[in-house]
Amino acid sequence: MLALVYNALLTLGLALCAPWLALRLLRADSRRVALARLGLGRRWLPAPPPPGGLWLHALSVGEVRSAVPLLRGLAARFPRRPLIFSVGTAQGLAMARQQLAGMEVTTLVRPLDAPWAVGRLLDVLRPALFCLVEGDIWPAWQWALARRGAPRLLVNGRVSPRTFKSYRRAPALARGLFAGFDRVLAQTETDRQRLAAIGVGDDRLAVGGNLKFDSAPAPLDRAAIARIAHDLGLVGRPVVVAGSTHQGEEEPCLEALAALKDQWPDLALLLAPREVRRGGAVARLAAERGFRVARVSQGRPPEGCDVVVLDVLGRLAQAYAIGRAAFVGGSLCAVGGHNLLEPAAQGVPVVFGPVVHNFLEMAQMLEDIGGGARIQSGDELLAVWRELLAEPLKAAAMGRAGREFCQAHRGAVARAVEEAASLLERAHGC
């Protein structure tokens, strides 16, 4: 009865969203993913892999980066099992295919909980295990997988303060949301406590750590850093990096650059918008302020640019390594912050805004050990960047603390692989 009511409400919701969905279907750049998310037609269905595969799902770019090391870990542990990797966005799919090039993996966009799509896809995939990374929880998928005997594992589970308030207002619905998982691995003890408070049983709940620690690239050597600087047209230049920025965050970064150039006239800003399609708009913002600008998507930037817009996927994590200091976006606006570990892993001082509920404990720990600096405004960003440029020994100590923090907290992938192995053993005896 619950499934019947849920499917009816979901279908009604999709009908109410029909005008917006129609616009998505009319746009050529979003039509393919929109059709797949709605489960319409047949082109979104992949070629059938052999049965008994390991299926990972990650919503978008951030989750994909976290999930790829886990997929590699599962492949090493279970080399004979097929691998399946699904996403929920076009950027996520592009990132997955880029990161998984050379591996034999079935990649696809997973539909929403549409009742006409769930069974069709499971008939094609026939997985032995489903693993969800962080979010994009849809109950009908868990119900259908359970009926087919496939255990369900949630890893990198996170509950933001805002989400926790919503769960507390409707605890029965929250419990139902997580009831479809055989095992839930929370990122932190705070996340575990919040999940326990809404009724997720201790027998299904544990702290697994954050996969992002394992997905952060190893520190690059000088030769690799020099190649990145060359490829970006920034050889021999002091650089500050602003990564994963959103609308409203580029302006304070550009204003800081303008102020800092009085003291460091050769200073350059590497600016990476979270959505690479905004590259043109971000470049225009910089040009309007009189800066010489280049976009990486248009080819290798010429020497002498003040602002290099990194509007391509998959290069930011390593590009942080050329920075004297970094700012991680999504934190001066109501997004909740993005991955603080990527600059920290390269030994680059990390600056972030006040809105970091996506990485609450990580941000606090980085701040406590001296590897990160929290700011409240663009003026404070300027002040911190100025201090780090003027005091290289302090910047180096801050970067070293961040790098050691990253190395000390690895291991979430190994824990998740062990949980997956345990679920497979109980369900299938292997």
What's residue 1's pLDDT?
Answer: 53
Mean pLDDT of 328-341: 95
Task: Look at residue 309 and give its three-state secondary structure.
Answer: strand
| pLDDT single digits (tens) 82-113 | 999 999 988 899 999 999 988 999 999 998 88
Calculate what percentage of the chain has a pLDDT beyond 70.
Answer: 93
Strand-by-strand arrangement of the 53-58 sheet: 105-109, 83-87, 53-58, 127-133, 152-157, 183-186, 205-207
pLDDT band at residue 227 using 50, 70 and 90 as cut-offs? very high
Backbone angles phi, psi at 323, to 5 degrees: -85, 145
Cα(403)–Cα(344) distance, rounded to whole angstroms?
5
Between CA 256 and CA 261 the distance in angstroms is 9
Could you give the domains of the chain?
Answer: 2-209+411-428 (3.40.50.11720), 222-408 (3.40.50.2000)
Q: pLDDT tens-digit profile of 49-58?
A: 999 999 999 9
User: Rounded mean pLDDT of 246-269?
Assistant: 97
Non-local (6+) Cβ contacts of 24 within 8 A are: 30, 31, 34
Spacing of C-alpha 300 from chain mean position: 26
- Catalytic-residue membership of 342: no
Please enumerate, as own/partner, the contacts of 310-315 that have beta carbons within 8 Å and a separation of 24 or more.
310/232, 310/243, 310/270, 310/271, 310/272, 311/272, 311/273, 311/276, 311/277, 311/278, 311/279, 311/280, 311/282, 311/283, 312/276, 313/61, 313/91, 313/94, 313/95, 313/98, 313/276, 314/95, 314/98, 314/99
Q: What is the pLDDT of residue 136?
A: 83
DSSP per position, 88-103: SSHHHHHHHHHHTTTS
Mean of all residue pLDDT scores within the chain? 91
- Per-residue DSSP letter, 321: G
**16 pLDDT higher than 80:** no
Q: Look at residue 236 in the predicted model and tell me its pLDDT.
A: 95
| Per annotation, catalytic residue among 63, 134, 249, 342 | 63
Looking from the CA of 108 toward its CB, the CA atoms found within 13 Å total 24
Is 70 exceeded by the pLDDT of residue 209? yes
pLDDT tens-place string over residues 347-362: 999 999 999 988 888 9
